[in-house]
Structure 1
Amino acid sequence: MAGEIVYADLNLSPGFPGSRAPLSAQPHSPTCPWWHRTALGVGWIGNIVLVIAVIALGIWGGSGCKLCPTDWRLRRDKCYWVVRGSKTWSESRADCSARGSQLLVIRDPKELEFIKDLTQDSKPFWIGLSVPSPEKAWTWVDGSRLDQSLFQEPGPAEGNSCGAVAGNQINSETCSSAFQWICQRDAILL
């Protein structure tokens, strides 16, 4: 019998260790309650709706998430930093530049109102407005001119005049004075 293969049909009793009942005789696995299937279906529908919403927002002008650095305040697409120390206008401008920003450039009366609420103070804060030379007019740090249809001229355009905001007014101050200041930068769009 050496080298021969022998087949045997074994009939083991169901209680015998290691024995299994034929597949047709095995009990069926228990079915899940109806609410499990319903919850799973609702979950899938919710996921599909969320995916469609994200795609729609991305395609049809969702403005995205806007972020500012820690301790900066977000308004629309800009971040604002109110510095409570005191420096000259030039030193304030350099500080904003070191923060990757610029002194505040106010574009409309609503932004001026926001700044008033942000500072909650009647003390002057340097902004990015100055008279670069005696023969020039009031100019923002980005090179644009002060729009006198939106804001009253802060004072005579003299060579050593810089703009400061106090409350809801823009005033002319001597650039060598020491005040607090406001920096602004673009928000990071995700």
Structure 2
Amino acid sequence: MTAPGKAQAQEQGPLDEEQLIDSRPRNAMNRSGHRQASVFNSLAGCHLHHPIPLVLKLLMLTLFAGILVAILAQGNLCRPCSWDWTFFQGKCYFFSKSQRNWHDSVTACKEAGAQLVIVESAEEQSFLQQTSKSKGVTWMGLSDLNKEGTWHWVDGSPLSSSLGNYWNTGEPNNIGEEDCAEFKNDGWNDGRCENSNFWICKKTATSCSNN
């Protein structure tokens, strides 16, 4: 006769891995589960009742509102010149990054609401000469296209004698029909209007007064 205990073991068969895991002492599982639940409840209680999340939300809302106000205000800020123009003594200057002939340079400046640059003072000349020297040969709004040897700016005004000393030594020499003026090296040079140079546009800066 088979013992009752052995018969019961034979009916159940060998325990698989999952059953072995489940066969751990119930009291051990209960203690571990109770401990985990207590920790979870403590954390949940902290999130539910602690005021920090509300404070963070208020800070984020305030920060967002500040950024929004800054963006809106930026559109109303007065800028004397556009982003790609340079401000100097009440004027805005555009220094081209590409090259064109003299006539196309005049047109490009007109399309931008400006003029191919007219030099009006020694300070302006120094500013323009230094900047153009770092780029390369650059057109200015001066030519003797109407009459050889008589130089006029693009607005029709004649070249003053006080500015005539900015020509490089021996210039203008009109070699090969050179009728358009350019910044070259440390002074001015007369070049062929068909050459491709950089160019400088000039216009009056925007007034930022509240009147």
Say yes or no: TM over 0.5: yes
What CA distance in whole angstroms lies between the structure 1 residues aligned with 2:114 and 2:79?
A: 16
Which among 102, 127, 135 is matched to residue 140 of structure 2?
A: 127
What CA distance in whole angstroms lies between the structure 2 residues aligned with 1:111 and 1:119?
A: 12
Query: Which residue is 2:164 aligned to?
Result: 151
Larger radius of gyration: 2
Whether the 8 Å contact between 1:79 and 1:184 is mirrored in structure 2 is yes
What is the one-letter code of the residue matched to 1:126?
A: W
Query: Which residue is 1:141 aligned to?
Result: 154
Query: Which residue is 2:83 aligned to?
Result: 70
Whether the 8 Å contact between 1:123 and 1:166 is mirrored in structure 2 is yes
Whether the 8 Å contact between 2:117 and 2:141 is mirrored in structure 1 is yes
Query: Which residue is 1:171 aligned to?
Result: 189
What's the % identity of the aligned pairs?
29
Secondary structure of the structure 2 residue equivalent to 1:67: coil
The C-alpha deviation readout for 1:82-104, integer Å capped at 9, x for no partner, is 00211100001101111110100
Aligned-pair CA distance for 1:121: 1.8
What is the one-letter code of the residue matched to 1:99?
A: A
Query: Which residue is 1:97 aligned to?
Result: 110
What is the one-letter code of the residue matched to 1:78?
A: K
Query: Which residue is 1:84 aligned to?
Result: 97
Cα-Cα RMSD = 2.2
How many residue pairs match? The answer is: 126
Judged with a 3 Å threshold, the aligned counterparts in structure 2 of structure 1 residues 185 and 166 are, in CA distance, closer, same or farther, namely: same
What CA distance in whole angstroms lies between the structure 1 residues aligned with 2:132 and 2:85?
A: 13
Aligned-pair CA distance for 1:134: 3.0
Secondary structure of the structure 2 residue equivalent to 1:84: coil
Judged with a 3 Å threshold, the aligned counterparts in structure 2 of structure 1 residues 160 and 170 are, in CA distance, closer, same or farther, namely: closer
Aligned-pair CA distance for 1:150: 2.5
Which among 90, 103, 107 is matched to residue 120 of structure 2?
A: 107
Query: Which residue is 2:203 aligned to?
Result: 185
The range that moved more, 131-140 or 121-130, is: 131-140
Aligned-pair CA distance for 1:120: 4.5
The answer for unaligned runs of 5 or more in structure 2 is 1-77
Query: Which residue is 1:116 aligned to?
Result: 129
- Give the alignment's TM-score, normalised by structure 2: 0.54
The answer for unaligned runs of 5 or more in structure 1 is 1-64
Secondary structure of the structure 1 residue equivalent to 2:96: strand
The C-alpha deviation readout for 1:93-142, integer Å capped at 9, x for no partner, is 10111111010001122111111333342621001001132356110111
Aligned-pair CA distance for 1:146: 1.0
What CA distance in whole angstroms lies between the structure 1 residues aligned with 2:120 and 2:174?
A: 19
